[in-house]
Amino acid sequence: MADFFIGGQWVASQAGRTREIRCPANGSLVAEVAEGTREDTEAAIAAARDAFDNGPWPSTPSWERGDVLLRVAQLLERDKASFARAESLDTGKRLVESEYDMADIAACFRYFGKLAGQDSGRVVDTGNPDAISRITYEPVGVCGLITPWNYPLLQTAWKVAPALAAGNTFVLKPSELTPHTSIMLMRLLMEAGVPDGVANLVLGAGPEAGAPLSEHPDVDLVSFTGGLATGRIVAAAAAATVKKVALELGGKNPNVVFADADFDTAVDFALTAVFLHSGQVCSAGARLIVQEELHDRLVDEIVRRAERIRIGGPFDPDAETGPLISEAHLEKVERYVATAIDEGAVLRTGGKRPEGEKFTGGHYYLPTVLDGVKQGSFAVTEESFGPVLTVETFTDEDDAVRIANDTHYGLAGGVFTSDVSKAQRVANRLRHGTIWINDYHPYLPQAEWGGFKQSGFGRELGPTGLAEYQEAKHIYQNTRPGPQHWFSGDQG
């Protein structure tokens, strides 16, 4: 089973290990894939190092690298149906959602393809007519890219596209649960003209196949998207060799609804914010923070609508949302809800697995609403990463901001109000990396994405997303050289 892509070749796990990939919707076997060890990842790092130090990619003109990325975007569009199907089988996500993701993935490659050749650095005013000073942007080197299972190819695209645009080589280690679209992407990168050794792929468990990417001295940068606990391990390991580190971690994202918000819009987006992809979204609006006077009406309507959400597998045309990724994750969500109820949260709906034959073998959980949660409690500080909405209330604008900022995370948040000036004031005061006003979840490849506080550091997307993969170098030239006589020894 040759599923690793190393130095331009498809290779098998050195230890001959394999892993079964099962569809979360019904437990059916999707495929068996190679399972990597440290040795496999070290081989991939060596290939990426060689391609960076001796290969053509880092010095390929930036616009040519951009052309390659534009070809990748075209190829992704050509193959979008097979990619979307593979993503849905691995994640259990509805096919229509995987199809949306494909459009975003192609757009990401297109954005960085166009950005690649635009910035040739800058000239600095030295204040000296006999000196030229310029800043160039160079690739960082070998990048270790570690991605999660919830948006497997999208998260991968956010790293691979800027890494390639900047002229780096990389080793990608996707989530062990969702490897297939990464395997498919490697084929497209080759077809688009990425040279051998530039793009490398290993599969397997994080502590085994992933860990060398944050530990190995030949890796110059590690970009990680995943949970906070793993992010801490990655950052600590990377510190030993002082790698550049980018962390895109979890969130506990506030969705603030003022009493003057358009009611139907607020209800609709409150549902999408938290229940899209069964809550397995890092930016899920899992904390509804509603103004006191609107609380009863809004929560009653959210509960009524949540109970009508139709659940099913990826190819069920009637389904509006799907399963959780695994039995282990489902059990984690169950423990989260049980702890919240023990703390005093009021279960308004959900809180259990759905019943029925169509759910057999899958990891489904009903959309759940927990009312009356207390600020600072487990329910509002910890990420469930499942279809669970907690509800808190606020009195006025200051109170809303204080509650929404009372979290060690800082990834994203929403504000719903019909007062434009209040919306902007609140957005400015929220300590989160993305704020949506009267909307939830849209992102743009040209707009930076990333977290404040313990949601991580570094940014993906936008010009800053490219800069993450570049080193700035200052080159200073004295154009009228001559002795400076700082030291006097040459005068006697």
Is 233 a residue that touches ligand NAD (CB under 6 A)? yes
248 is catalytic: yes
Tokens of 415: 């504000």
What minimum distance in Å lies between the beta carbon of 225 and ligand NAD? 5
Looking at residue 259, what DSSP letter applies? T
For ligand NAD, the binding residues in 126-165 under the rule CB under 6 A are: 146-150, 155
Residue type, 115: L
Query: Shortest CA distance to 198 belongs to which of 238, 165, 246, 240?
Result: 165
Q: Which residue number, 97 or 383, has a Cβ lying nearer to ligand NAD?
A: 383
What minimum distance in Å lies between the beta carbon of 271 and ligand NAD? 19
Is 36 a residue that touches ligand NAD (CB under 6 A)? no
Cα 436–151–198 angle (5° rounding)?
115
Query: Shortest CA distance to 336 belongs to which of 292, 402, 390?
Result: 390
* Cβ neighbour number for residue 53 with a 10 Å cutoff: 12
What minimum distance in Å lies between the beta carbon of 214 and ligand NAD? 6
For ligand NAD, the binding residues in 261-290 under the rule CB under 6 A are: 282
* Binding residues with ligand NAD: total (CB under 6 A): 32
For residue 303, what are the contacts with CB-CB under 8 A and spacing of at least 6? 348, 349, 369
Identify the residue among 248, 371, 392, 468 touching ligand NAD (CB under 6 A): 248
What's the distance, Cα to Cα, between the start and end of the chain in Å? Answer: 75
Residue among 248, 382, 460, 468 flagged as catalytic: 248
396: helix, coil or strand? coil
Q: Which residue number, 249 or 403, has a Cβ lying nearer to ligand NAD?
A: 249
Identify the residue among 68, 165, 211, 294 touching ligand NAD (CB under 6 A): 211
What minimum distance in Å lies between the beta carbon of 51 and ligand NAD? 22
Identify the residue among 45, 166, 411, 435 touching ligand NAD (CB under 6 A): 411
Is 176 a residue that touches ligand NAD (CB under 6 A)? yes
142: helix, coil or strand? strand
Stretch that binds ligand NAD, among 28-36, 68-76, 172-180, 471-479 (CB under 6 A): 172-180
Q: Which helix (H) or strand (E) holds 122?
A: strand 122-124
- Pair 449, 433: CB distance under 8 Å: yes
Stretch that binds ligand NAD, among 124-132, 222-230, 357-365, 471-479 (CB under 6 A): 222-230
Query: Shortest CA distance to 179 belongs to which of 142, 148, 208?
Result: 148
Identify the residue among 36, 66, 92, 250 touching ligand NAD (CB under 6 A): 250
Is 91 a residue that touches ligand NAD (CB under 6 A)? no
Cα 286–287–288 angle (5° rounding)?
115
Identify the residue among 13, 200, 230, 349 touching ligand NAD (CB under 6 A): 230
Looking at residue 195, what DSSP letter applies? P
- Cα-to-chain-centroid distance, residue 109: 15
How many Å apart are CA 202 and CA 6, to the nearest integer?
A: 8
Ramachandran angles phi, psi of 274, nearest 5° = -105, -30
Identify the residue among 24, 226, 323, 462 touching ligand NAD (CB under 6 A): 226
What minimum distance in Å lies between the beta carbon of 233 and ligand NAD? 5
How many Å apart are CA 315 and CA 98, to the nearest integer?
A: 11
How many Å apart are CA 369 and CA 275, to the nearest integer?
A: 10
Which residue has the closest beta carbon to ligand NAD? 206
Q: Which residue number, 110 or 432, has a Cβ lying nearer to ligand NAD?
A: 432
What minimum distance in Å lies between the beta carbon of 123 and ligand NAD? 35
Question: Residue 385, exposed/middle/buried by CB under 10 A (0-12, 13-18, 19+)?
Answer: buried
- Pair 241, 247: CB distance under 8 Å: no
Is 33 a residue that touches ligand NAD (CB under 6 A)? no
Is 351 a residue that touches ligand NAD (CB under 6 A)? no
For residue 438, what are the contacts with CB-CB under 8 A and spacing of at least 6? 261, 262, 265, 269, 415, 416, 417, 423
Stretch that binds ligand NAD, among 185-193, 228-236, 292-300, 342-350 (CB under 6 A): 228-236
What minimum distance in Å lies between the beta carbon of 174 and ligand NAD? 6
For ligand NAD, the binding residues in 382-401 under the rule CB under 6 A are: 383, 385
How many Å apart are CA 156 and CA 429, to the nearest integer?
A: 31
What minimum distance in Å lies between the beta carbon of 155 and ligand NAD? 6
Stretch that binds ligand NAD, among 243-251, 334-342, 371-379, 423-431 (CB under 6 A): 243-251
Stretch that binds ligand NAD, among 120-128, 182-190, 202-210, 356-364 (CB under 6 A): 202-210
Sign of the alpha-carbon torsion through 324, 96, 224, 231 = negative
What minimum distance in Å lies between the beta carbon of 381 and ligand NAD? 14
Q: Which residue number, 285 or 456, has a Cβ lying nearer to ligand NAD?
A: 456
* Residues near ligand NAD, by CB under 6 A: 146-150, 155, 173-176, 205-207, 210-211, 214, 225-227, 230, 233-234, 248-251, 282, 383, 385, 411, 451, 456
Active site residues: 248
